[in-house]
Every structure is written in C-alpha cells, then in structure tokens.
Structure 1
C-alpha cells in the first residue's frame, strides 16, 4: 500500500476509535494488527515489547477510570485500556512496515508536501543515531573530568543542542552545494505510485470498519 495513504488510514482509524468508544472495535483492531505483524515476520521480541511497554500507562488509565470516578464503570475503563493498545499496534503496523524514506517520497510526490519538509524530515531521522553517539561522547567527556552528566542534566541537553545547531548549518550548506533549491522543481529518482488498488484497499478497510464501530459495543 502507498506509504502516504497508509499513514492517512492509520490516522483516520485512530481518530474514529478516539471519538467513538467501542470495546469490540478495539479488540478487533488489536487482533488484526497482531496477525498482520506476525504475517510480516516481525520478531516475537518486538511483539512482546509492544505488549509490555504500554502496560503501565494502560493500567494507570484503567485504575483511574474504574476506581476514582463516581460511576466505577468497568466497561469504559476497559475501553480506554484497550484503546491504548489499539493505538500502539496501529502505530507498530505502520512503523514496522514502512520506511521513512518511502514515506517522505510518497508525501512529496503524491500529496504535494513541500520538498523542504520532506528533506527536513529525512534529515531529522537520519541524524538520530549521530545524536545518540554525540550524547554518549558528551557524557564520556564529563566522566573523564569527574563531572557526571545524568540523563536529566540540563548541561547534557544544552551541549547536544549546540552540536545539533552546528550539524543543521553543515547540512544546509551541503544541500546547497549539491544544487538543492526549495523553490525550484526537482526530478524524481524513485517514483512512488498511488494506484487505484491503494485507494480500493483504503476505502474497503474504512467501509468494513464503520458497521463494526457503529453497530457493536
């Protein structure tokens, strides 16, 4: 499926389940996403993390709704509990099956996203490993000077921000030196198609979701 259209599908489904409380829909979405991830050969370790990491937040929401509201409504508490997992699994379906590069190309080519935002997004994601390395280097330098920088230390983040600003200038200069101009048309090296099949899948999933969302509880 086209990456950009897949993103809009995930966002649309997430918006609908946030506006219409429906336990059955949440459970169906979680089950389908889980089956899809297994079909795509996602490792069991990642799936286990998807189940464990949101557990604390989902449990807190459940306890808050069930124990600390006047009605002590178990149904609504369960809806919110499962809704968090539905969001997590919908996000996992997208992130585990779609590359950032293909998404940026799709948004630029098929949905007219300005190239500066597409390339800016790619630059931000590609620089994440470099930021991680730089943070570790800053902490190591601090330890060598007997000045421990914890993960919540303002000094650590201030130094990392200064490094990021320096990288942004270097990146801008590099793009200009390679002929990038945001107000000029650019050629397409790898075209991303948006076919009738993509629209058919998009429409079919939404049409199938509506009766489940509106007619079940």
Structure 2
C-alpha cells in the first residue's frame, strides 16, 4: 500500500478519541474549531459537493432535533449547552467523513489486523460482509422484480421479502466460506502479509499532536 495518509488505525483512534472527548466536555468553541478543520480537510480532499451537501443536510436535521430537545423542551433551558450538544452532531459526522474519505475498508481491515492485532477472522469477516452488501442489494431487487412478474408486490416492510433475503444471505455466506477455504484461509493458522500497512513515528507524531491539541482546546476554551 502506498504511504500517503496517517496510519488507518491511528486515524480511527484519533476520530474515536475526539468524539468521546467532546461528548463529555462542554466546549462549543472547540466543537466549531474541529468542524471547521474537518470541513477544510474534506474540501482539500475534493469531496463531491453532492455528497457533502447531503451529509450536512442530514447532520443539520439531527442537530436541529437535538437543539430543540435541549433548549425549547428543557425545564432549564441553556442556550450555550444546547448549541454545544447540537454542534457535536457535526463533529461526529465530519470527523467520521474525514476517516472514510481517506481510508478504504480494505485498508482499515488490514491495518486493524496488523497494527492493532485484530484477529484475522474478524478482519476478513468484516471485508466479506462489506463486499457482499452490493450483491445483497441486487438480490433483493431481483426478488422484488420476480414477485411483480407473478403479480405479487413485495413492499419494503414485507416479511416475505426479508425472509427470501435471509435465505439468499445464508446461501451467500456458505459460498463465501467455501471460497475462503479454497483460497487457503484457515482460521488460527499463521498468515503471510501480502500488503504491509506501515506504522511510523510520523504517524504517532500526528496522532499525539491531534490528541494534545483537542484536549488543550477542550479544557482551555469555553
């Protein structure tokens, strides 16, 4: 894997730490700083305007709901606190977007296995689940089309649709297990590393700098 970004595992940990830190600390200015930096990073990475707009719209709806619950419908309304908890929605959304826009599922799985020593069965199982989602969506569409050809409309909430989808999923899981075994995968057996995910001192430097800056802002800024 060509080294371009911070190590995926450290990016994941940094995103998690920022989210947890700001979940327990009331600091509206820190939230706004994090959101601004994350937004600048996404624009630098040339995120599609359509995707960014849809993401901000969905986050805005959630933030508005949180704000109304924390301010308009509170027995002791506090505008600053309501704005803080509403801005956290954008923090979670934008920081997660920064992670996903620069890291593929394959890179993340390899990094978790190599750098955080996640068992290979979980890493490969996660990859298998993510890769099978498009096939499952196509299978559900095919089931609905087949039903309409027989004059049966299977709605989104139809139990029959989900029952048939479960049968397809079970069949796909069995085929996937056989495919992994045929390619030499044995649970618990030592495996060679085809693509190495490096973890350098530069990655740790960026990670620690991010953690320190967030903590300084969270404890020094209101």
SS at match of 2:74: coil
Aligned residues: 217
Look up the match of 1:164.
Answer: 169
Q: What is the CA-CA distance between 1:28 and the residue it aligns to?
A: 0.6
Superposed CA RMSD in Å reads 1.0
Q: Does 2:131 align with 1:135?
A: no
* Among 117, 120, 141, the residue aligned to 2:122: 117
Q: Does 2:14 align with 1:17?
A: no
Q: What is the CA-CA distance between 1:55 and the residue it aligns to?
A: 2.0
For 2:46 and 2:59, locate their aligned partners in 1 and report how far apart those are by CA, in whole Å.
22
Look up the match of 2:100.
Answer: 95
For 1:96 and 1:150, locate their aligned partners in 2 and report how far apart those are by CA, in whole Å.
33
Look up the match of 2:113.
Answer: 108
Q: How does 1:31-180 map to 2 (within 5 A)?
A: 31-180=36-185
| TM-score (norm. length: structure 1) | 0.97
For 1:149 and 1:80, locate their aligned partners in 2 and report how far apart those are by CA, in whole Å.
40
Question: What whole-Å deviation, never above 9, does each CA across 1:113-167 have from its counterpart, x for those lacking one?
Answer: 1110010000001011101101111111121122211212222122111111111
Question: What whole-Å deviation, never above 9, does each CA across 1:14-46 have from its counterpart, x for those lacking one?
Answer: 110111121111111110000001111111111
Q: Which runs of 4+ in 1 moved over 2 A?
A: none
Question: What whole-Å deviation, never above 9, does each CA across 1:152-197 have from its counterpart, x for those lacking one?
Answer: 2222122111111111111111111111111110011111100000
Structure 2 unaligned runs (5+)?
Answer: 1-5
